[in-house]
Amino acid sequence: MRARALRSAGKPEEAAAELRKALATSNDRCELLYLLWDCQFVLGDRAAAHETLLEAKALADGVAAHRIAVAEASWLMSQGEYAAAVEMIAAVTTPDESVRAYGLSVRGVCEAFLGDMDKGVATLEEARASAHRSGDMREYTRAVGNLTFVLGSSGHHERSARIGAEALKRLAVQGFPSTYSAPIRYNLATSLLALGRWPELDVLEVPDTIPGNKAARILLCQAEARALRGLDPDDLVEAAAKAIDGQDALFAAQSAYTRAVAARAKGRHRAAVELCRETVLDPPAALTGGEVLRLIAEGLGAVHDLQAAGGRVTKLDDPRRWSRAARAAAGAARAGGRGGAGWPSPRRGWTTGPPWPPTGTGSGCRTRRPTPGPGAVSRKRCAGHTSWPSGCAPCRCGRGSTGPLAGSASRCCTGTNPSSARSPRASARSWRCSAGAAPTARSPPSWC
């Protein structure tokens, strides 16, 4: 079928158009609707995909009914309804190994997001074995993609990288197109970056056939690795921007982090702070709390760089401490599958004032009352300056880690739960951040 071939070639929009034409004349509407659901889902049109899936569900029987039930559970997972998705999959009993692998792949991610990381990994290992037995490479790549995503999210980057590299070799040896390998490649890139295995990341292939949103994120990982070595990453950042189809606010926010890392490496510390500040002032809805915290950590690191360089910058209590705590909290949120959920929205609480006087000159100090807010911390401020209270020790899980995804413990900030950690507050003239996003994909999904 032409539509199936187009979908396998990484052209879901063209495949969807073919399917709509075929639906006008075909009697096999259930199968066509299922394929259309898959295309709409991968294109991000979740509402239309759900309507298509419900229409297919009304026509399905036998194995098709089982597959559509798992697809519905996958949709629930994408909405953050993890417990409901697990319950729906538990009701599916089928001898079909391909459908079973699909169900296990979805269930494993949900179990991990519900907090049982070990159980989720075990389920995903079972999904990989089931997909191998079925010979269905679509389900094999799904299982490996989800497994490497969960392993990387929980800080097991060595294992994630090994499994991802082995899967890519197998796909290449067997001559399968690279279309479905995109999540595996992206997860491998993030793990190699976190491990500091930058030469391997440099040579990771980014085929033209993989979706532009995944290609762009892989290129950003390569750009960040280059920046961390003091090399110019601008060409890779530009290539990543060209790989994106149309406007993508999420990509713009994520690339701001990479550009901030590069600016710090070049000694442009003020530029790094501004990039982070501007991004967290108005973050896209899909930007997770963990990613916002990474931006905060990078911005605060740049503030410390300014202090160390003797530039005109407010003397904070310890920006490195706050930076480490924020980075560790980002890792903890990611490890728990929460994407930052549970952190109070900084629009209601966490705001940080400019780290240097807007005019670039000092001004007379006087005592001011802190901006009121729930749980505001009393302290003295200088005009144009901000002083943050000490009260958040570096997270144990963040020490000695490498890469932006480091830190896998679920407790941070002097051993307290991340959601209860004190957050600094300051003036209304602030760079704000939104860390209250629901656990959505941190980019277009690296699980599927």
Domain ends where: 333, 358, 388? 333
Give the pLDDT confidence of 138-180 residue by residue, as tens digits: 899 999 999 999 999 899 999 999 999 999 999 888 887 777 7
* Comparison of pLDDT for 297 and 83, the residue scoring more: 83
Residue 183 lies in a domain: yes
Name the residue among 60, 46, 159, 140 with its Cα closest to residue 97. 140
Task: Name the DSSP class of 377.
Answer: P
pLDDT tens-digit map of 34-83 = 888 788 787 777 788 888 888 888 888 888 899 899 999 999 998 899 99
pLDDT above 50 (res 187): yes
Rounded distance between C-alpha atoms, residue 387 and residue 382, angstroms: 8
**Strand partners for 253:** none
Q: What is the pLDDT of residues 209-256, one digit of tens each?
A: 888 888 999 999 999 999 988 888 999 999 999 998 777 888 989 999
Region of poorest pLDDT, from 4-18, 120-134, 290-304: 4-18
192 plus 268 within the same structural domain? no
Q: Count up the domains in the chain and report the number.
A: 2
Whether residue 364 is contained in a domain is answered as no
Domain presence at residue 352:
no
For the chain, give the percent of residues with pLDDT over 90: 34
Residue 175 belongs to some domain of the structure: yes
> Which has more confidence, 192 or 392?
192
Higher pLDDT, residue 353 or 136: 136
Inter-residue contact 327 to 294 (CB < 8 Å): yes
For residue range 376-403, list pLDDT tens digits in order: 333 333 333 333 333 333 333 333 333 3
Does this model's pTM top 0.75? My answer is no
Summary mean pLDDT of the chain: 72
Question: Do the beta carbons of residue 347 and residue 391 sit within 8 Å?
Answer: no
Which of 273, 307, 333 is at the close of a domain?
333
Domain that holds residue 231: 156-246
